[in-house]
Amino acid sequence: MEPFKNKVVYQIYPKSFLDTNGDGIGDLQGVIRKLDYLEELGVDYIWLTPFFPSPQRDNGYDVANYRGVDPSYGTMKDFEELVAEAGKRNIRVMLDMVFNHTSTQHTWFQRALAGEEAYQDYYIFRTPRPDGGPPTNWCSKFGGSAWEYVPQLGRYYLHLFDKTQADLNWENPAVRRELAEIVRFWMSKGVKGFRFDVVNLISKGEYLDDPQGDGRQFYTDGPRVHEFLKELNRQSFGRDKEIITVGEMSSTSMEHCFSYAGEGQEELSMVFSFHHLKVDFAGNNKWVLIPPDFERLKNILFSWQEGMASHGAWNAVFWCNHDQPRVVSRFGDEGVYWKQSAKMLATVIHGLRGTPYIYQGEELGMTNAHFTRLDQYRDVESINHFALLRDRGMSEEGASSILRAHSRDNSRTPMQWDEGENGGFTQGKPWLSVNPNTAVINAASQTKDPDSVFFHYQALIRLRKQWDVFALGDFTPIDPAHPAVLAYKRAWQGEEMLCVNNFFRRPCLWNCPRSLEGFQVLLSNYPDSHPTQEWKLRPYESVLLHRG
C-alpha cells in the first residue's frame, strides 16, 4: 500500500492555532504544545500553512523568503523542535509551498525592480498596450486587473492574486532550479510532505484577451504544467519515497488530474479539487447567496470518485480548509442538529476513496464567525469583494450577508481550546476575533465527552487503520437519484462497507436497493441506529455498516 492511502492529514493554520507569547498570533511553539492533542485525535501528518517570512498581505501566502521562519511564528530552532517532537508521536510534517508567485518584497522581485534583467525574467513582465493599458483583460482572483504597472520599468507584471503577489515565470529554467532547491532544503530538515499551492496555474499559455473576461482559460492546467511537475518530482521530493505530496488544483479538469495524481505518472501523490465546493456558487462566482445544490454535490463527488479510481489516480478528500467557510455552517446545521450534522459530514468524507484532510477545529464542529462589521475582517479577498459589491449597487447589509456566508475569515478565527476568554488561544489581543460560541464549542469539553464531534472524528480515523476497505476499497454509488440521501458502497477482498447519510434536517424514507443481511453498524451519529430495508432516516442520520 502506498504510504498515503490509510493516512489522515490535519491542516494547521499556525496564525490561528495557539499563541504562546501573548502577541495575539499563533506560533510554532503553540503547535508543539498541542502535539499530544493531535496524537490523541490520531492523525498521521500535520500540514502547516506558510510560516515563512512575509508581509502578511495574504496571511503568509505572499512569501518573501522560502528558507526562513517569520519572527511572528518563531525561529528555525522552533521548527526543528516541532519536527522532532512530532516524530516522537509518529506524526510527520507537511509544508505548504507557494510556488506560483512570491511577495513583491522577495529579494528576487526587488532585484527585478532595481533593473536586473536576470531577475526580471524570474517574473512575467509585459509591455503596455498602445494606449498604455494592461497587456490583457485578465482579472485577479482577488478582484481588479491581474496586471500592475511599474512606472520605472515602463512595464506591467502579472499577479493572478493580490498585486503584492507577483507570478513567477516557470518558463525560466533558473526559476525551476531555485524552487527544486528550496524543496530539498526543507527535506533536509526532516519534512515528509509538501502541499503545492495553486500549482496547476504555474504554466501560462498565450497572453491574449479572454472573451470570457477573466483569463483562466489561458493559465489553468497550462501547456507545460505536467512537464514542470515531473521535473520538480525528479529534482526534489521524488527522491524520497516516504514523502507524500498534494497539489491544490484551481478550476482544474478531472482529465488533467489523472496525470497530476495518477499512479506511475511521477507528478504528485494526490490532488485537491474544488468543484464540490462550488455548489453554492452562481457559475464561478462565490459572492452570491444561493442554497447548495445537493444533486450537483452528489454528482460531482461520485463522478470524481469513479473517474479517478478508473484511472488509478488519488484524491485528497475534504470539506474544509483555510479558504473555505466552515462546513457545518455551509451544508449542516448550527442549531438543534449541530452535532448530528457535523458528524454526518465527517462520515461522508472519511468513508470516501482518498486521503482525508481535517482542518483545525473541524473535528470540534466549529462554525462560521458571523461577523457584523467590515472592520472585523482581515482577509484581503473579502475586503476587496465587499467594495466591489458595494460599487455594483448592493446594500451594505446585502454585501455583509454574503461575507458572513463565504468569507475566508470564517475558517481563520482562532482555535477554540476552552471556554475561557479568547477560547484559550491567547492571553493577548487575538489578530482575528474569536468566535463567541467558544463557550459551547471547544476542545476541553469535547475531549472528555464520548458523544462529542471530536470522538466521532477519532473513531473514523481509527476505522481507517483497522479496515483496509477504507483505504483500498472500490467505490460504488447507491441510489444516486434520491433527493435527500447520500449513500455509497466500498468493497475490498470480501469486505464491504456501506455509508448511508441523510443530508438534511428533515426525516426521510429510504428503500435500500440492496440486502443488508450480515451488515453490522460500525459507527453512527445516533446511539440507536437500526438499519432496515425500508429505513426512516432521522435528521442528518449517518451510519457506517460493515460486512466481511
Rounded distance between C-alpha atoms, residue 388 and residue 445, angstroms: 41
248 is catalytic: yes
Annotated catalytic residue: which of 44, 214, 248, 496? 248
Inter-CA distances, 332 with 128, 478, 488, 517, 539, Å: 48, 21, 19, 31, 10
Alpha helix stretches (DSSP H) within 291-361:
294-310, 327-330, 338-350
Annotated catalytic residue: which of 19, 197, 214, 363? 197
Phi, psi for residue 545 in degrees, rounded to 5 = -115, 145
Q: Tell me which DSSP letter residue 15 carries.
A: G
Residue labelled with grid coordinates 493599458: 133
For the record, the C-alpha cell of 271 comes out as 490532488
Rounded distance between C-alpha atoms, residue 516 and residue 532, angstroms: 7
Rounded distance between C-alpha atoms, residue 366 and residue 342, angstroms: 9
Q: Are 476 and 301 in contact (CB under 8 A)?
A: no
Rounded distance between C-alpha atoms, residue 111 and residue 174, angstroms: 15
For the record, the C-alpha cell of 23 comes out as 502577541
Angle at CA 339, nearest 5°, toward 333 and 342?
A: 65
Pairing of strands 165-167, 508-511: unpaired
Give burial (CB, 10 Å; 0-12/13-18/19+) of 291: exposed
Residue labelled with grid coordinates 502506498: 2
**Catalytically annotated residues:** 197, 248
